Amino acid sequence: MTDELAMDRGSGVALWRQIAEKMRSEIVSGQFSEGTRLPTEKDLAERFGVNRHTVRRSIAALTQSGLLRADQGRGTFVATSLIRYPIGPRTRFSEIIAGQSQEFGGRLVSSAHEEADIFLAEQLDVAPGTMLVRLDTLNVVDGAPLTLANNWFEQSRFPRLVADYAETGSITKALEAAGISDYRRKETRITAEIVDLQDAVLLELSPDQPVMVVEAVNVDTREQPNHFTRARIAASRVKLIVES
């Protein structure tokens, strides 16, 4: 079956962009792994029911953002060029990504109020049973979801956090609004798992792909923990860099 019918002409979204987004989601979901050769421009043009030049423009856009690499005479390949994600005391998602992408943003997936269990209480240095705010966020870079994170905060210290995050799309900015001008990572723990089914949906991964699981405790300038994060990061898109 051709995908021709899936392309909306005259919809206000250019064909090359629709095709680029479709190709990106197929690459990024792990259907094409690093180094894989794509179908030829001629085949792609037929598949999408457009002119070869239109496909070339889509490929140009994906090449620009580092996802593809085209070799004259050989073909077009998945470059994947994993985003470098340095882990250190000054780790900030937004600052890391800003230098490596065209556009990015954080979206609030859900939020909840819940009591601290023993584990969370220890991480945040509060008494078990203390009311916490949980913020579930999805960070998207150049149209591809990168990380899915649970963030916990002490509710009494950050009552307006959910609204501030929803407005700014940035935890750093939401904390600033609550008077936390600076903070640093005290500890980062890293492991890896096969992605959960519900996480796979949000991260646009196929369900057999690995994710890195990163837990981090962030402290303010007085060494007081202000938030604890548990992030799932699509391993096919990110390379963690631990500096020393």
Partner DNA sequence: AATATTTGTCTAGTTGTGTAGACAAATATA
Partner DNA sequence: TATATTTGTCTACACAACTAGACAAATATT
3-state secondary structure labels for all residues of 127-179: CCCCEEEEEEEEEEECCEEEEEEEEEEECCCCCCHHHHHHHHCCHHHHHHHCC
Site for a second copy in 21-60 (CB under 8 A): none
Q: Sign (positive/negative) of CA torsion 142, 43, 235, 194?
A: positive
Rounded distance between C-alpha atoms, residue 93 and residue 82, angstroms = 15
Is residue 73 near DNA by the rule CB under 7 A?
Answer: yes
Residue type, 71: D
Helix boundaries (H) for 39-117:
41-48, 52-64, 93-98
SS3 assignment, position 106: strand
Of the candidates 7, 108, 190, 213, which one interacts with a second copy according to CB under 8 A? Answer: 108
Is residue 159 near a second copy by the rule CB under 8 A?
Answer: no
Is residue 50 near DNA by the rule CB under 7 A?
Answer: yes
Is residue 10 near DNA by the rule CB under 7 A?
Answer: yes
Rounded distance between C-alpha atoms, residue 216 and residue 228, angstroms = 6
- Cβ 50 to DNA shortest distance, Å: 4
Q: Residue 75 binds which entry of a second copy, DNA, none, with Cβ cut-offs from 5 to 8 Å by kind?
A: DNA
Q: What angle do CA 204, 19, 59 make, to 5 degrees?
A: 100
- Cβ 227 to a second copy shortest distance, Å: 17
Rounded distance between C-alpha atoms, residue 229 and residue 147, angstroms = 12
Is residue 63 near a second copy by the rule CB under 8 A?
Answer: no
- In the DSSP assignment, the letter for residue 98 is H
> Which helix or strand (DSSP H or E) is residue 108 part of?
strand 104-115
Of the candidates 3, 4, 13, 53, which one interacts with a second copy according to CB under 8 A? Answer: 13
Contacts with a second copy, 115-144, as mask; x by CB under 8 A: ---------------------x--------
Is residue 202 near a second copy by the rule CB under 8 A?
Answer: yes
Please choose, out of 33-41, 167-175, 178-186, 220-228, the segment that lies near DNA by the rule CB under 7 A. Answer: 33-41
Q: Residue 144 binds which entry of a second copy, DNA, none, with Cβ cut-offs from 5 to 8 Å by kind?
A: none
Of the candidates 1, 5, 118, 197, which one interacts with a second copy according to CB under 8 A? Answer: 197
Provide CB contacts within 8 A for 10, sequence distance 6+. Answer: none
| Pick 35 or 86: Cβ nearer DNA | 35
Residues forming the site for DNA (CB under 7 A) = 9-12, 14-17, 38, 40-42, 49-51, 53-54, 56-57, 59, 70-76
Residues forming the site for a second copy (CB under 8 A) = 11-14, 16-17, 20, 61, 108-112, 136, 162-163, 166, 197-198, 201-202, 207
